[in-house]
Amino acid sequence: MTAMDSLYQQIIIDHYKNPHHRGLPDQFDAEVHHVNPTCGDEVTMRVRVVDGAISELGWVGEGCSISQASTSVMTDLVVGKPVSEAMQLNALFLELMKSRGQAEITDDVAEALDDAVVFEGVSKYPARVKCALLGWMAMKGAVAAAAENATAEHATAENPTSENPTAENPAALDTTLTTVDTAGLGSASVTHEHTR
Amino acid sequence: MAIDVEAVRKDFPILSREVHGVPLVYLDSANTSQKPQVVLDAMTEFYARHNSNVARAVHTLGSEATNAFESARDKVATFLNAPSREEIIFGKNITEMLNLLAYSFSNASSTPGAERFRLGPGDEIVVTEMEHHSNLVPWQLLAQRTGATFRYIPLADNGRLVESAIEEVINERTRIVSFVHQSNALGTVNPVARIVARARQVGAITILDGAQSVPHRPIDVQALGTDFVAFTGHKLYGPTGIGVLWGRYDLLAALPPFLAGGEMIETVAMSGTTFAAPPHRFEAGTPPIAQAVGLGAAVDYVTALGMDNIQAHEDVITAYALTGLQTVQGLRIIGPTEPLHRGATISFTVDGIHPHDVAQMLDEYGIAVRAGHHCARPVCVRYGIPATTRASFGVYTTTDEIDALVHGIERVKEIF
């Protein structure tokens, strides 16, 4: 077993020990909480979307190194990028995770996914795939929640009432419990989506 | 006669495998055991030379297949010291056997003559906090179906039951006590005699989950004293797809069936059907014939070695492992730390490293362990941890393999 064959590439260990974009920002458009029920990996994430781009993203979480490192690597890739590009990267990473070790990574994909390609080996271990996907699913959910919230705020802005929740005066959080089948891979992560 | 473990290992073809270019160190026998060549040969021989359906055919192959299947039943009956071979029921696995009981009890509500098994509001079903989900969820569902109350004997901090709670939780309203003999997550061996005595005082039916005990110690169902004992073949060096339920004949004879279909009937008419006597009443459809034959061969194999010898061997390995693991800084054993009333299964955590990472890295060194909640999530909740890493041993486990495990954990710690 050479270092290159190991699932635990140095990048993964580094991101696990020093995760990027840790911490929940005070200003945010949506917060999500995702969990892998079978192993207890969890992540809480807040995003801010400005002019269709992820202007801010912060997270806290705990769990296995794959889940935490993958989340950290993901944040480096998407912060500052337009939402559409973040979703494309999400789709690419998902493809990689479904590849069962058979992926042929083109130069374009390698360039786009950057450090995230180091998780390629995870695709050989079905039990770990949802660990690697946890942060990506949270990001996707957070961005979607931010978009929903923006639409709702826009609608209420036209009919202002004193019960409008605003960033300065949050109303009681509206929580929806949904079960997300992680890209049809047969596992479920439970998500709590808070919008404000 | 002590186990010659090197000779035993040669009986198991898979143990010569390599994983990631290094020899396999298989420490996951609680999950499933490996299979000796004689078991594989018995099943192939059955399919190649004696295959036919059982009980139905009048031709030669049919009677050979029936003999093979029914002699497996005899072997299991002897192995468990059951009073009668008619008390041995074959199914798919132990989960199915426990569900069989749970559903037969609720079917009693609508079966004339089965009043003694009826449950309703006010009745109580008792399990323990250390149960595997297969001996927990069926009883939750039974409670839900019947309105009975679901209760459990709690765990103490040391990985054993709160023994004083045995007499408290089991009371006059208790109708069923279903409990595990040896915990798959903690290794704890429970005080069967004490639980049975209390259950008898209150007239409750007792069911023993023997999945982790039957493969690892001599079992005498008459000495144990419970009304039912269940186990699964694939943990006893036999194939997957074969589970066993032993039950007292008088209870089985009064229990309504679970699965219905061919084989379990006496006569069938459009106006109504009568049912076969046990065990066939509980064996609907074509049974796992080749699997039962494989289980019979596995029973022969362990009987030749001697279950008491196997237990002695595993006790040595377990004590060695408990000592070795406790030399690792930051490693915490979840469950009894002394080799007393505990079996060959050790769950542990390593400070700062998630069990999935421990198990994954150990795999890269060829070492197979399990990580997670081991289908015993209440145990993890009780001890405030999301998961553990679990190493479990069998007749073929060596002290060298334990050394490899301890050394492997030290290497994992260096990386993280």
Q: Taking CB atoms and an 8 Å limit, are A63 and B415 in contact across chains?
A: no
**Cβ–Cβ contact B413 with A under 8 A:** no
Distance from CA of B34 to the nearest CA of A (A): 21
Q: Taking CB atoms and an 8 Å limit, are B364 and A1 in contact across chains?
A: yes
Distance from CA of B364 to the nearest CA of A (A): 7
* Contact residues for A59 (Cβ-Cβ < 8 A; gap 6+): A21, A22, A23, A24, A43, A44, A45, A46, A71, A75, A135, A138
User: Which chain B residue has its CA at the smallest distance from A16's CA?
Assistant: B416
Q: Taking CB atoms and an 8 Å limit, are A66 and B372 in contact across chains?
A: no
Which of A1, A17, A127 has its CB closest to that of B21?
A: A1
Q: Taking CB atoms and an 8 Å limit, are A38 and B416 in contact across chains?
A: no
Measured torsion, CA atoms of residues A102, A108, A114, A118, in degrees rounded to the nearest 10: 10
Average pLDDT, rounded, for chain B: 96
Distances (CA, A) of B14 to B33, B36, B37, B46, B202: 11, 9, 9, 21, 48
Please state which of the ranges A93-97, A123-127, A172-176, B195-199 shows the lowest mean pLDDT.
A172-176
B372-408 pLDDT per residue, tens: 888 898 999 999 988 899 999 999 999 999 999 999 9
Q: Taking CB atoms and an 8 Å limit, are B356 and A128 in contact across chains?
A: yes
Distance from CA of A158 to the nearest CA of B (A): 47
Sign of CA dihedral B255, B261, B267, B273: positive
Distances (CA, A) of A196 to A75, A109, A157, A161, B15: 22, 35, 14, 15, 57
User: Which chain B residue has its CA at the smallest distance from A10's CA?
Assistant: B415
Residue found under tokens 């494989």:
B294
Residues B27/B344, Cβ–Cβ less than 8 Å = no
Complex-level ipTM:
0.72
Q: Would you mind telling me the total number of residues written for chain A in this entry?
A: 196
Residue found under tokens 């929903």:
A148
| Interval B340-357 mean pLDDT | 95
Question: Any idea which residues of B carry the catalytic annotation?
Answer: 375
Residue A189 has pLDDT above 50, yes or no: no
Distance from CA of B354 to the nearest CA of A (A): 5
Residue type, B329: Q
User: Which chain B residue has its CA at the smallest distance from A65's CA?
Assistant: B357
Residues A150/A29, Cβ–Cβ less than 8 Å = yes
Q: How far apart are CA A122 and CA A83, in angstroms?
A: 26
- Strand order of the β-sheet with B388-392 is B331-334, B345-350, B388-392, B370-372
Q: How far apart are CA B315 and CA B295, in angstroms?
A: 24
> Could you tell me how many CB contacts below 8 A there are between chain A and chain B?
49
Residue type, B59: H
Q: How far apart are CA B14 and CA B10, in angstroms?
A: 9
Give chain B's largest Cα–Cα span: 72
CA B155 and chain centroid, separation: 20
Q: Taking CB atoms and an 8 Å limit, are B354 and A6 in contact across chains?
A: no
| β-pair type (B22-23, B205-209) | unpaired
φ, ψ dihedrals at A56, nearest 5°: -145, 140
Please state which of the ranges A159-173, B17-31, B111-125 shows the lowest mean pLDDT.
A159-173
Which of A13, A63, A64 has its CB closest to that of B415?
A: A13
**Cβ–Cβ contact B384 with A under 8 A:** no
Residue A160 has pLDDT above 50, yes or no: no
Distance from CA of B218 to the nearest CA of A (A): 34
Residue B373 has what pLDDT? 84
Q: How far apart are CA B389 and CA B363, in angstroms?
A: 12
Contacts of A71 in chain B (CB under 8 A): none
Give B219's DSSP letter.
Answer: -
- The tokens for A74 are 């993901």
Residue type, A138: A
Residue B398's closest CA among B318, B326, B331, B328? B318
- The tokens for A151 are 């639409």
User: Which chain A residue has its CA at the smallest distance from B357's CA?
Assistant: A64
Q: Taking CB atoms and an 8 Å limit, are B360 and A6 in contact across chains?
A: no
Q: Taking CB atoms and an 8 Å limit, are B415 and A38 in contact across chains?
A: no
A2-46 pLDDT per residue, tens: 555 688 889 999 999 999 999 999 999 999 999 987 777 899 999
Residue A190 has pLDDT above 80, yes or no: no
Q: How far apart are CA B139 and CA B95, in angstroms?
A: 12
Measured torsion, CA atoms of residues B53, B280, B229, B346, in degrees rounded to the nearest 10: 20
**Cβ–Cβ contact B390 with A under 8 A:** no
Instruction: Give B 19-48 residues with CB within 8 A of chain A.
Output: 20-22
Distance from CA of A64 to the nearest CA of B (A): 5
- Helices A65-78, A83-97: inter-axial angle, 10-degree rounding: 150
Distance from CA of A29 to the nearest CA of B (A): 30
Q: Taking CB atoms and an 8 Å limit, are B354 and A1 in contact across chains?
A: no
Q: How far apart are CA B308 and CA B222, in angstroms?
A: 17
B223-261 pLDDT per residue, tens: 999 999 999 999 999 999 999 999 999 999 999 999 999
Residue A138's closest CA among A38, A57, A76, A21? A57
Q: Is A104 left (phi over 0), alpha (psi -120 to 50) or beta?
A: beta
* Contact residues for A107 (Cβ-Cβ < 8 A; gap 6+): none
Angle (CA) B383-B389-B390 rounded to 5° is 100
**Cβ–Cβ contact B62 with A under 8 A:** no
Q: How far apart are CA B244 and CA B242, in angstroms?
A: 7
**Cβ–Cβ contact B161 with A under 8 A:** no
Q: How far apart are CA B326 and CA B363, in angstroms?
A: 21
A94-133 pLDDT per residue, tens: 999 999 989 888 999 999 999 999 999 999 998 899 999 9
B172-195 pLDDT per residue, tens: 999 999 999 999 999 999 999 999
User: Which chain A residue has its CA at the smallest distance from B353's CA?
Assistant: A64
| Interval B294-313 mean pLDDT | 98
| Interval A132-150 mean pLDDT | 94
Residues B157/B379, Cβ–Cβ less than 8 Å = no
B117-149 pLDDT per residue, tens: 999 999 999 999 999 999 999 999 999 999 999
- Optimal mutation site among A14, A39, A119, A125, interface B, most CBs of chain B within 10 A: A39
Question: What whole-number percentage of chain B has pLDDT above 90?
Answer: 93
Residues A122/A185, Cβ–Cβ less than 8 Å = no
- Terminal CA-to-CA distance of chain A, rounded, Å? 49
Residue B53 three-state SS: coil
Q: What's the burial of A51, exposed, middle or buried (CB within 10 Å: 0-12/13-18/19+)?
A: exposed
Q: Taking CB atoms and an 8 Å limit, are A16 and B387 in contact across chains?
A: no
Other residues' Cβ atoms within 10 Å of the Cβ of residue B192: 17
* Model confidence band, residue B1 (pLDDT cutoffs 50, 70, 90): confident
**Cβ–Cβ contact B364 with A under 8 A:** yes
Contacts of A66 in chain B (CB under 8 A): 356-357, 360
φ, ψ dihedrals at A32, nearest 5°: -130, 160
